Amino acid sequence: MPASQLTDRIDALLPQTQCTKCGYDACRPYAEAMAQSHEAINRCPPGGAAGIAALAALLDRPIALLDPDCGAHQPLQVATIDEAHCIGCTLCIQACPVDAIVGANKQMHTVIADLCTGCDLCVAPCPVDCITMVAADHDWTPALAQAARTHYQQRQSRLLARHHENSTLAARTLANKAELASAAQNDTPAKQQLIADVLTRARARRNKVAP
């Protein structure tokens, strides 16, 4: 079987959460690694035991336990934003691999729960810790996985049109939001001071428009 065809079949079995917990940038690169480099089949926490069994059957490999270094399988969660504390920095929007967060610079952001894959990639970049993961009111289905794949591909196409270099998500985030994102990579005091400054400006804007 050609490697590209095998990759397609493997990718079809992955949950398309694009969470990167497997150690790859998205589901498709992980599928390529399994097809071409004999990568382990037990590195996808969202897929869980059922996903590992399906991959084992396709690739004629022994079933293995989920690699604990990649995380644990758990029921589907979705992100939620505490909108009262959102400062509109857009870092979560930039981090979301499937465009499930909407908003604008210096305006409140919100999560479209039906599009959220539960990847939790938006949680860490938030400078004011206003994003949490909560239990979803639905299960992850093949139809949702297909939709997530489509949204991810559309987002990648848009990003590549803006960033012609082959850059990672982290590099694109730093390029798009240098001030906040760079501080997040620096020492803790600098990050805390930047957050304090942002919050001070946000409070000043609110007080200015208050009656």
What is the Cα–Cα distance from 160 to 172, expressed in whole angstroms? 10
Rounded Cα–Cα distance for residues 91 and 112 (Å): 16
Mean pLDDT lowest among 16-20, 146-150, 204-208: 204-208
Which pLDDT band, with edges at 50, 70 and 90, does 28 fall under?
very high
What's the one-letter identity of residue 93?
A: I
Average pLDDT taken over every residue of the chain: 84
| Neighbour-count burial of 188, counting CB atoms closer than 10 A to its CB (0-12 exposed, 13-18 middle, 19+ buried) | exposed
Taking the C-alpha atoms of residue 20 and residue 64, their distance in angstroms, rounded to an integer, is 20
CA 9 to chain centroid: 23
User: Which domains does the chain possess?
Assistant: 3-70 (1.10.15), 77-200 (3.30.70.20)
Between residues 1 and 185, the one the model is more confident about: 1
> What pLDDT does residue 194 have?
57
Query: Residue 202 — pLDDT band, cuts 50, 70, 90?
Result: low
184 pLDDT exceeds 80? no
Residue where the block lists tokens 């428009």: 209
Can you give the pLDDT at residue 172?
44
Listed residue (74, 81, 72, 118) closest to 96, CA to CA: 118
- 125-136: average pLDDT: 95
